[in-house]
Amino acid sequence: MEPTQQITTGTRLDPWIDAYAARTQGLTTSQVRALFAVASRPEVVSLAGGMPFVSALPLDALADTVARLIRDRGAVALQYGSGQGDVTLREQILDVMEPVGIRAHPDDIVITAGSQMALDLVVRVFCDPGDVVLVEAPTYITALSVFSSYQCEVVHVPMDDQGMRPEALREAIASVKASGKRAKLVYTIPSFHNPAGVTQGPARRAEVLEVVRSSGLLMLEDDPYGLLGFDDSVPRAIRADESEGVVYLGTFSKTIAAGLRVGWAVAPHGVREKLVLANETATLCPSNFAQLTISEYLATQPWFDQVKVFRDVYRERRDALLESLSSLMPAGTTWTVPGGGFYSWVTLPHGLDATAMLPRAVAAMVAYVPGTGFYADGQGRHNLRLSYCYPEPDRIREGVRRLAGVIKDELEIADIFGSPEAVAGREGPAAPEPNLA
């Protein structure tokens, strides 16, 4: 066994350090979480966290909904419910998924505490320690935490501006099989990717699906941002064209309220049964109160108009980010142009190291997430994720101005003295560059 790392709680050594299960070794504080403490200071412009702008919700109407719910249906809303989730809400979720093209039965749906919980349950029911999960390079930080908490091995598949590359996926699956390891899942975020900001077009989706089908693996399609496209078109879910080989994850976190913690999985029959049992083990049942709040909101409010409000808010912020990046960033810096969602993925010039630069950025009152957090294998040193979902446009512009200043200073230092990070970036072990044109 690896020697366990000494972790301190306050000033004391943790007395339980040798008692933890092996699977907790993968549970380290994510860079996003560690950043929140610093980045939440009001003077720092945080382009780090992915917090939805919930202030754009009709809060008075929601307050009325909640008051009415407790008054009229409190005995149900405040009671335990079913492990699969409320049946009325499952029917309403079918309408919510209509724009992404999914046709299903309420019985195919399992409601969970956010889609994060569904992700955890899918991995729990499929993966034994050592099983391989294939993911995009880069991928969602907290999905990596789930895979590592179940002691999965993660294999990254390169992306381009259309997302996961099918040929690279085919090769990665073949090489996992050739090595004698057992591949279990292909995890993908096809629409408005976190963190890459790119979207698979219809042809790319079909190609990726074909590779996954022919490999006999299960696809886990994570789609929290699908309705948040800025040109008002909604990408068709992969699950719309394949019901047996795909588990689809959806959520109300970005279209209604993340704090209610209501998400769902759409799964083939046998998988759905296992997910319900796993859901019961984890939580007995998802919160009835949160589910009925969402259900009432969907039934009584123009929820799709609100989605359009969110699109407008995020489009304006995306534009503020892109315009200021274009006008302020030093030559050699590149970034992706998201057609929806919350994120743009930046590549720093001349081998600058985003992790090493972070303390300087925070001192200059701007925060981002360094790229390495989005990989299980140390890639991403020259990348960072910027999110534009939460700050007002003027704050975004100010944040980019500060960040551009930090990058220019780093470049000057590297030029004059040869910064260790920049030198390491040029001469150190060559981390494969993500191909995110």
* Residues in touch with ligand PMP (CB under 6 A): 50, 114-116, 140, 189, 194, 222, 224, 251, 253, 258, 263
- Neighbouring CB atoms inside 10 A of 281's CB total 11
Q: How far is the CB of 251 from ligand PMP (least distance, A)?
A: 3
Rounded to whole angstroms, the Cα distance separating 300 from 230 reads 25
| Nearest residue to ligand PMP, scored by beta-carbon proximity | 114
Closest approach, Cβ 340 to ligand PMP, in A, equals 13
Using only the alpha carbons of the chain, give its radius of gyration. Answer: 22
Rounded distance between C-alpha atoms, residue 125 and residue 146, angstroms: 12
> Shortest approach of ligand PMP to residue 4 CB, angstroms?
30
Q: Work out how close the CB of 296 gets to ligand PMP at its nearest, in angstroms, rounded to a whole number.
A: 19
Closer to ligand PMP by CB, 253 or 324: give it.
253
Whole-Å CA distances, 406 to 139, 297, 346, 371, 410: 26, 44, 14, 17, 6
Nearer to ligand PMP, 256 or 403 (CB): 256
**Shorter beta-carbon distance to ligand PMP: residue 50 or 229:** 50
Identify which of residues 120 and 153 has a Cβ nearer to ligand PMP in the complex.
120
Token pair of 171 as six digits: 């090769």
Q: Residue 295 or residue 324: which is nearer to ligand PMP going by CB?
A: 295
CB 194 to ligand PMP: min, Å? 4
Comparison of 369 and 414: residue with beta carbon closer to ligand PMP: 369
Q: How far is the CB of 351 from ligand PMP (least distance, A)?
A: 28
Task: Output the smallest distance, CB 197 to ligand PMP, in A.
Answer: 12
Whole-number minimum distance, CB 171 to ligand PMP, in Å? 24
CB under 8 Å to 437, separation ≥6 — which residues? Answer: 160, 161
Shortest Å distance, C-beta 406 to ligand PMP: 25
Smallest gap from Cβ 76 to ligand PMP, in A, equals 24
Cα three-residue angle 92-93-96, rounded to 5 degrees? 100
- Smaller CB distance to ligand PMP: residue 166 or 263? 263
Nearer to ligand PMP, 200 or 324 (CB): 200
Q: Kindly tell me which of 145 and 379 has the beta carbon lying closer to ligand PMP.
A: 145
CB of 261 to ligand PMP, least distance (A): 7
| Closest distance to ligand PMP from the beta carbon of 136 (Å) | 10
17/261 Cα distance (integer angstroms):
31
Q: Which is nearer to ligand PMP, 222 or 353 (CB)?
A: 222
Between 258 and 292, name the residue whose CB sits nearer to ligand PMP. Answer: 258
Nearer Cβ to ligand PMP (115/279):
115
3-state secondary structure labels for all residues of the chain: CCCCCCCEECCEECCCCCCCCHHHHHCCCCHHHHHHHHHCCCCCEECCCCCCCHHHCCHHHHHHHHHHHHHHHHHHHCCCCCCCCCHHHHHHHHHHCHHHCCCCCHHHEEEECHHHHHHHHHHHHHCCCCCEEEEEECCCHHHHHHHHHCCCEEEEEEEECCEECHHHHHHHHHHHHHCCCCEEEEEECCCCCCCCCCCCCHHHHHHHHHHHHHHCCEEEEECCCCCCECCCCCCCCHHHHCCCCEEEEEECCCCCCHHHCCEEEECCHHHHHHHHHHHHHHHCCCCHHHHHHHHHHHHHCCHHHHHHHHHHHHHHHHHHHHHHHHHHCCCCCEECCCCECCEEEEECHHHCCHHHHHHHHHHCCEECEEHHHHCCCCCCCCEEEEECCCCCHHHHHHHHHHHHHHHHHHHHHHHHHCCHHHHHHHHCCCCCCCCCC
